[in-house]
Amino acid sequence: MAKVLYNEPSPLETLVISRNFRKEGSETLDGYLANDGYKAFLKAKEMTPEAIIEEVKTSALRGRGGAGFPTGLKWSFVPRTSPKPKYIVINADESEPGTCKDRLLMEYDPHQLIEGIIIAGLAMDAHKGYLYIRGEYRFIIEHMNRAIEEAYKRGYLGKNICGTGFDFDLYTHSGAGAYECGEETALLDSLEGKRGIPRMKPPFPAVAGAWACPTLLNNVETFATIPAIIRDGGAAYAALGVPKSGGTRLLCISGHVNKPGVYEVPLGYPMMKAINDIAGGMRGGRKLKAVVPGGSSCPILRADECDVPMDYDSIAKIGSMMGSGGMVVLDETTDMVKFALRIMRFYAHESCGWCIPCREGTTWLRKILQRFDDGGGRKDDVRVLGEVSKNMLGRTFCALGDAAAMPTISIVEKFSEDFDKRLAMQGSGLVTING
């Protein structure tokens, strides 16, 4: 019997990090070994740490968690010769609305992730790693614990890995429900047993991260990509994508399409092709209205902006972000007032409360949007929503404030007609005002 995946794969995918997903036993160590597993680690062991980091730089891999920072550069910031212990921290707090890919990498190919982590350990001269997984993913925590145990038993973790003399210990660490803990410095506070509150930067985690020691912190997908880069070479990986956005990434397509799912595509893949050919086009033959390109934090794109290649720079050029790869597709029936409200309910709920512009801003934006949706909209609301959002931008320790403001600004600017329509309905007495 063929393996049942969460969604049918597409023949248009380019399989690099998901190449084992479909194979029987891909989650076991033997399954991984049968597919060149842990060969990249042995190759990396023969390289100098500088050469490993150089290879990652050459790959043009950019962080897959959301910010898109060049991974090789981030790796080069960690002072590997520091006398302090160095730590590897893996962000598996996957909580950005629209994103559901890291769980697949852990579920279907846990050893690929472990191999990526120990290669990072080699490059950083780090010997301990912490895999911070969101609490809701308990089944994945147990799944990773099994994979880690298997790796220990067979000598791919622990002392003297594969006889190379290199030691590395890896532990899972459960979160307990907090979007904010996906932010790297809040994650570190959470890892230290505290409330997940962002830290002032600098110092960056590379210099003073977990327990004030140098720490390399990347997303699951970023680490899971490392074995392919070392195995096939950074240049080969980079060539799959476009300049400055190397390789492939997992795209999580959700919303009003016929075949929502997680698909691996090269960077620079045309957005409309992803919607129409990979995701089977719009549900019910309806018209495309908007796309959230990379998780709810990203400025929304109008349908007429979506004829764009999906790489970091092309999406940035049109004022949005590739983010976490969570692509949410909206058809013409979507009410943008409700959509903006739902996004803001999320951010108001998840704001950790540390920075006033974020805590108060998200709360007021939610209240205004709720009143508007309840039929109590005022002519001035669109302007106020935009203004409050703009006042939050750049005024908080972490990016959560921006993440709440950016989609709101883009929605009120690009879809003001949805707000006008509601106001007109109110004026005609079609709705009752209870706000």
For position 253 contacting another protein by CB under 8 A, the verdict is yes
* Cβ proximity to another protein, 229 vs 343, nearer residue: 343
Structure tokens at 188: 């570190």
For residue 335, CA distances in Å to 182, 256, 303, 345 come to 29, 13, 15, 16
The smaller minimum CB distance to another protein, of residues 100 and 301, is found at 100
Residue of 339, 372, 397, 415 that binds another protein (CB under 8 A): 339
d(CA 7, CA 4): 8
Measure the CA–CA gap between 343 and 242, rounded to whole angstroms: 31
Identity of the residue, 55 or 418, whose beta carbon is nearer to another protein in the bound complex: 418
What tokens appear for 297 in the block? 């934090």
3-state secondary structure of 264: strand
What is the DSSP annotation of 191-257? HTTS---PPPSSSPTTTS-GGGS-EEEEEHHHHHHHHHHHHH-HHHHHHHSBTTB-SEEEEEEEESB
Q: What is the C-alpha separation between 109 and 31, in angstroms, rounded?
A: 9
Decide whether 60 or 224 has the Cβ nearer to another protein. 224
Among 13, 27, 94, 221, binds another protein (CB under 8 A): 94
Q: How far is the CB of 386 from another protein (least distance, A)?
A: 20
**Contact flag: residue 355 with another protein (CB under 8 A):** no
Rule CB under 8 A: is residue 224 a binding residue for another protein? no
Q: CB under 8 Å, gap of 24 or more: what pairs does 186-195 form?
A: 186/352, 186/398, 187/89, 187/91, 187/93, 187/132, 187/217, 188/89, 188/215, 188/217, 190/132, 191/89, 191/130, 191/132, 195/352
The bridge status of strand 288-292 relative to strand 326-331 is antiparallel
Choice from 176, 316, 356, 425 touching another protein (CB under 8 A): 176
Q: Is 254 in the site for another protein (CB under 8 A)?
A: yes
Least distance CB 431 / another protein (angstroms): 18
Rounded least distance, CB 369 to another protein, Å = 14
52 vs 106, beta carbon nearer another protein: 106
CA–CA distance, 251 with 265 (Å, rounded to integer): 7
User: Is residue 179 within the footprint of another protein (CB under 8 A)?
Assistant: yes
Cβ proximity to another protein: between 44 and 292 the closer is: 292
User: Per the structure block, which two tokens stand in for 408?
Assistant: 């709101």
**CA 344, CA 348: separation in Å to the nearest integer?**
6
75 vs 347, beta carbon nearer another protein: 347
Q: Which of 178, 208, 226, 337 binds another protein (CB under 8 A)?
A: 178
Restricting to residues 121-140, name those near another protein by CB under 8 A: 128, 130, 134-139
Q: Are strands 169-174 and 128-133 parallel, antiparallel or unpaired?
A: parallel
In the complex, least distance from residue 246 CB atom to another protein, rounded to whole angstroms: 24
Question: Is residue 194 part of the contact set for another protein (CB under 8 A)?
Answer: yes
Q: Is 196 in the site for another protein (CB under 8 A)?
A: yes
Q: Which of 182, 25, 35, 178 is nearest to 102 (CA)?
A: 182
How many residues make contact with another protein (CB under 8 A)?
59
Smallest gap from Cβ 158 to another protein, in A, equals 13
Q: Applying CB under 8 A, does 343 fall inside the site for another protein?
A: yes
Judged by CB under 8 A, which stretch of 42-50, 153-161, 258-266, 393-401 contacts another protein? Answer: 258-266
- Under the binding rule (CB under 8 A), the answer on residue 195 touching another protein is yes
Span from 41-49, 251-259, 301-309, 367-375 in contact with another protein (CB under 8 A) = 251-259
Q: 276 to 295, contacts with another protein by CB under 8 A? A: 292
Contact letters (x/-) for another protein, 260-279, by CB under 8 A? xxx-----------------
With residue 359 as reference, give the H or E element that holds it.
helix 356-371
Q: Is 365 exposed, middle or buried (0-12, 13-18, 19+ CB in 10 A)?
A: buried
Residues 182 and 167: their CA atoms lie apart, in Å, by 28
Note the residues at the interface with another protein (CB under 8 A).
6-7, 85, 94-100, 102-103, 128, 130, 134-139, 169, 171, 173-179, 190-196, 211, 252-256, 260-262, 292, 296, 326, 328, 330, 334, 338-339, 342-343, 346, 349-350, 352
